[in-house]
Amino acid sequence: MKYITEFRNKDDVQKLAKAIGTYNGRPVQYMEVCGGHTMSIQRFGIPSMLPESIRLISGPGCPVCVTSTGFIDQAIALSRQTDTIIATYGDLIRVPGSNSSLENERGKGADIRIVLSSLAAIQMAIDNQDKKVIFLGIGFETTAPATAVAIQEAHRQSLENFYVLSAHKIMPPAMDSLLSGDINLDGFIAPGHVSAITGSKIYEPLVEKYQTPVVISGFEPLDILYSVWMLINQTQNNTPGVEIQYKRVVNEGGNTKALELMDEIFEPEDDWWRGLGVLPNSGLGIRTQYRAHDAKQWLPKNMELPKEPVGCICGDILKGLRSPSECRLFGKACHPGNPVGACMVSNEGACQAYYLYGNG
Ligand code: SF4
């Protein structure tokens, strides 16, 4: 409790906001590329504490949001196969596919179970050896190590009925794509949890290439305000670099053990991101040595091309080009009780954050 209070101290927040308020440089926009940051920024009303010249925009940091409709269609196709159990993290079951969702399929009798960890899916495979258990691996460097552990464990135990459908992604190619795209970005509030695994060094090539400031931030109000302050200083002094605000969790080198494990199990592959399209080497495919556990072998040969929900601008929101309130469905046809698009499903999605905290 003391920990939370410390980073939400009202007097400190006000002091920092006041200091940021003295900024009188050119208008800047900084992007947070983590859904957790988007949620905190909206929840704590951070935009209202900043001068008009400093704008925060959300990016492609919500794992559920960037997962492609095609992946959901694949998961649905697998769930319709006999003797198959789909094991998934909770948010994913409500994400719309082209014509259905995992939640709908479950209502129609498919065996789709929510798990809290990849190892729970392993236990499911042990307990149901007459069925295929397919774990849906989504998320960035934060969740990929846990999926890698599960694959390694299945391999070690020769569990022949455990598979992973991997949509894991890594963050730097998405940031690179944004910096080379249509939007003007003056800096990134870089993800805290991803960086705890990767370390801060992974952003250095981006800073060298684009001269764009990066600050790795924590999730409490003081963390975020302080990160904005650090970004402003880099902007004003024209000293772009990678800085760690979230030092209580992140270091330069990251979690070596987790990185080695990811490297052992996964290899880079091109992957499709909602909004950003196909980005080279941005996904994590399962290496040949572990292919026996790759659920891709069970996919139907001719899947139809995916269709995006009509009227949903989630892709543009993930690129920072538009805000949730610019979607004509926002808060009307689309709300957390009836999400039309992925950005309203997840508690890290920008549309849900803006809807819940009224900063659309
Ligand atoms: S409000 Fe709903 S329909 Fe509109 S962009 Fe967000 S998720 Fe898509």
Q: Which atom of ligand 1 is nearest to the CA of 313?
A: 5
Q: Say yes or no: 187 and 277 in one domain.
A: no
Express the helix, strand and coil content of the chain in percent, nearest 5 each: 45, 20, 35
Ligand 1 probe mutation, 72, 274, 312, most atoms within 8 A of CB: 312
Q: Say yes or no: 90 and 153 in one domain.
A: yes
Q: Say if residue 8 is exposed, middle or buried (CB neighbours under 10 Å; 0-12, 13-18, 19+).
A: middle
In the prediction, which pLDDT does 360 show? 46
CA distance 134 to 283: 19
The CATH number covering residue 280 comes to: 3.40.50.11740
Q: Say yes or no: 238 and 259 in one domain.
A: no
Is residue 111 assigned to a domain?
A: yes
Q: Say yes or no: 107 and 141 in one domain.
A: yes
DSSP sequence for 45-83: TGGGGS-TTEEEEE-S--HHHHS-HHHHHHHHHHHTSTT
* Bridge partner residues of 57 (DSSP): 31
Name the DSSP class of 283: E
CA distance 141 to 79: 26
Q: Say yes or no: 136 and 285 in one domain.
A: yes
Neighbours of 5 (CB within 10 A): 10
Q: How far is the CA of 326 from the centre of ligand 1 (A)?
A: 9
Sheet holding 187-190, edge to edge: 54-58, 28-32, 187-190, 214-216, 242-244
Distances in Å between the alpha carbon of 169 and those of 64, 87, 252, 337? 11, 19, 21, 28
Is residue 204 assigned to a domain?
A: yes
Is residue 263 assigned to a domain?
A: yes
Residue whose C-alpha is closest to residue 27's, from 60, 53, 63, 52: 53
Is residue 126 assigned to a domain?
A: yes
Is residue 249 assigned to a domain?
A: no
In the prediction, which pLDDT does 182 show? 86
Count Cβ neighbours within 10 Å for each residue of 276-299 and write b for 16 or more, e otherwise.
Answer: beebeebbbbbeeebebbbbeeeb
Q: Say yes or no: 139 and 82 in one domain.
A: yes
Digit-by-digit pLDDT tens for the chain (360 residues) are: 455 667 888 889 999 999 999 999 999 999 999 999 999 999 999 999 999 999 999 999 999 999 999 999 999 999 999 999 999 999 899 999 999 999 999 999 999 999 999 999 999 999 999 999 999 999 999 999 999 999 999 999 999 999 999 999 999 999 999 999 989 999 999 999 999 999 999 999 999 999 999 999 999 999 999 999 999 999 999 999 999 999 999 999 999 999 999 999 999 999 999 999 999 999 999 999 999 999 999 999 989 999 999 999 999 999 999 999 999 999 999 999 999 999 999 889 999 999 999 754
Is 344 touching ligand 1 by the criterion CB < 6 Å?
yes
Q: Are 263 and 144 in contact (CB under 8 A)?
A: no
Is residue 153 assigned to a domain?
A: yes
- Domain containing 351 equals 314-357
Q: Which amino acid is at 69?
A: T
Is 340 touching ligand 1 by the criterion CB < 6 Å?
yes
Number of domains in the chain: 3
The CATH number covering residue 204 comes to: 3.40.50.11750
CA distance 320 to 312: 14
Residue reference for tokens 């409500």: 94
Q: Say yes or no: 82 and 191 in one domain.
A: no
Q: Say yes or no: 49 and 9 in one domain.
A: yes
Q: 275: helix, coil or strand?
A: coil
Is residue 155 assigned to a domain?
A: yes
Neighbours of 166 (CB within 10 A): 27
Q: 162: helix, coil or strand?
A: strand
Q: How far is the CA of 64 from the centre of ligand 1 (A)?
A: 13
Q: Say yes or no: 7 and 47 in one domain.
A: yes
Is residue 303 assigned to a domain?
A: no
Is 329 touching ligand 1 by the criterion CB < 6 Å?
yes
Tell which of 225, 244, 263 closes a domain: 244
Q: Are 249 and 216 in contact (CB under 8 A)?
A: no
Q: Say yes or no: 277 and 199 in one domain.
A: no
Is 343 touching ligand 1 by the criterion CB < 6 Å?
yes
- What's the chain's length in residues? 360
Q: How far is the CA of 77 from the centre of ligand 1 (A)?
A: 25
CA distance 53 to 58: 16
Q: Say yes or no: 151 and 268 in one domain.
A: yes
Count Cβ neighbours within 10 Å for each residue of 27-62 and write b for 16 or more, e otherwise.
Answer: ebebbbbbbbbbbbbbebebeebbeeebebbbbbbb
Q: Are 336 and 356 in contact (CB under 8 A)?
A: yes
Q: Which atom of ligand 1 is nearest to the CA of 311?
A: 3
Distances in Å between the alpha carbon of 58 and those of 41, 188, 213, 246, 303? 9, 10, 16, 19, 32
Q: Say yes or no: 52 and 88 in one domain.
A: no
